[in-house]
Amino acid sequence: MEGIAALTLPLLFVLFIAAGLVKKVDVFEAFLVGAKKGFVSLWGIVPSVLALVFAVKLLRGSGVIDLAVDCLSPMVGRVGIPAEVLPLGLLKSISGSGSTALLTDIFETHGPDSVVGLMASVICCSSETTFYTTAVYFGSVGVKNTRHTILAALVADAAAVIFSILFVNILF
């Protein structure tokens, strides 16, 4: 199996070159055009991604996430939501790497097979990094007005967090 995995990418590379030669396409020129378009797209989304990284660092460093958890934990604790998963639910929409770091902390503190660890795992797998995804996809095509996209995506993320917790509470 490792041999197949190691050969997959080189075989795909050879397959693409062979298909280009069969169709009489200048494969190298097509590659250069694609690379140039990729750099143009990258240049278009870099400001959005930098702003997002800055916002995540600011939120985590300033203690806003901790303050939100302190304010919300008495309310959500009554309905069976552990305070330990609140930062994850709040940060997942903003940062995938930040939420992965929180997930790792939860695993180290509570264990991956604990109820809190299971809730955190399901939350990470069922929600999206809304702001990053929106910045990348809308930024790459030059859309400035996202209209209702952010609100709808945040409602979906909230539903993912709530149903993840309900799902784990029901099954475990």
Per-residue pLDDT reduced to its tens digit, 122-155? 999 998 888 888 888 887 787 878 889 989 999 9
- Asked if residue 27 is part of any domain, the answer here is no
Specify whether the backbone of 25 is left (phi greater than 0), alpha (psi in -120 to 50) or beta: beta
Whether 87 shows a pLDDT value over 80: the answer reads: yes
- Asked if residue 155 is part of any domain, the answer here is yes
Rounded Cα–Cα distance for residues 118 and 23 (Å): 50
Nearest by Cα to 99 from 144, 130, 136 = 130
- Asked if residue 1 is part of any domain, the answer here is no
- 3-state DSSP call for residue 147? coil
As a whole number, the mean pLDDT across the chain is: 86
pLDDT for res 152: 93
Residue 106, token pair as written in the block: 């939860």
Rounded Cα–Cα distance for residues 50 and 146 (Å): 18
Rounded Cα–Cα distance for residues 106 and 120 (Å): 8
pLDDT for res 113: 93
- Asked if residue 34 is part of any domain, the answer here is no
Q: What is the mean pLDDT of residues 73-102?
A: 83
Report the number of distinct structural domains present in the chain: 1
pLDDT for res 73: 83
Q: What is the mean pLDDT of residues 2-7?
A: 82
Structural domain that includes position 142: 43-171
Per cent of the chain over pLDDT 90 is 26
- Asked if residue 143 is part of any domain, the answer here is yes
Whether 20 shows a pLDDT value over 80: the answer reads: yes
